[in-house]
């Protein structure tokens, strides 16, 4: 698939942090919703909005990572592949969580869906941390980034 933002190598660092924050806030919102039944409905709606915006942002972040510049060796390519793989896993977990949260908003009396969403969001948070770790390795260990000279593309 052709990337949408191939000509803008410095766009990825600008875009990537926004969905990370939104998706982690969705976990926090959902945990509070499970803990406090008085505000559960409102917090479930907040969780849905955070998930929806975070999922859209995650897709944009993935699309902006098409041209990562830097002189890279084979190890950097392997780290980049892992980073990209976990980014897609995070995106799909976010999408699934968004759909489940939306459907569960219709099922007001079904409490177990709140716990399912917490489990999905914890899994999403783990994949986000793994993705971020590999992204940080690319920047700080291998010098890959918009300020470098080459292009990390096979």
Task: Look at residue 1 and tell me whether its pLDDT is greater than 50.
Answer: no
Q: What angle do CA 114, 83, 139 make, to 5 degrees?
A: 120
Report the pLDDT value the prediction gives residue 63, as an integer from 0 to 100. 87
Mean pLDDT of all residues belonging to the chain: 85
- Domain locations in the chain as residue ranges: 2-142
Please report which confidence band the pLDDT of residue 139 belongs to, taking 50, 70 and 90 as the band edges: confident
**CB-side exposure of 51: number of CA atoms within 13 Å?**
30
Interval 21-67: pLDDT, tens: 999 999 999 999 999 888 888 999 999 999 999 999 999 999 887 65
């Amino acid at each position: 698939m052709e990337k949408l933002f191939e000509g803008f190598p410095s766009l990825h660092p600008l875009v990537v942090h926004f969905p990370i924050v939104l998706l982690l806030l969705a976990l926090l919102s959902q945990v509070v919703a499970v803990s406090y039944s008085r505000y559960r409905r409102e917090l479930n709606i907040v969780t849905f909005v955070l998930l929806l915006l975070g999922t859209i942002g995650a897709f944009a972040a993935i699309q902006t990572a098409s041209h990562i510049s830097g002189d890279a060796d084979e190890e950097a390519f392997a780290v980049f592949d892992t980073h990209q793989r976990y980014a897609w896993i995070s995106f799909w977990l976010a999408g699934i969580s968004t759909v489940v949260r939306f459907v569960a908003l219709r099922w007001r009396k079904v409490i177990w869906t709140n716990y399912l969403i917490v489990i999905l969001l914890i899994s999403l948070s783990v994949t986000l941390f793994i993705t971020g770790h590999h992204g940080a390795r690319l920047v700080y260990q291998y010098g890959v980034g918009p300020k470098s000279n080459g292009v990390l593309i096979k």
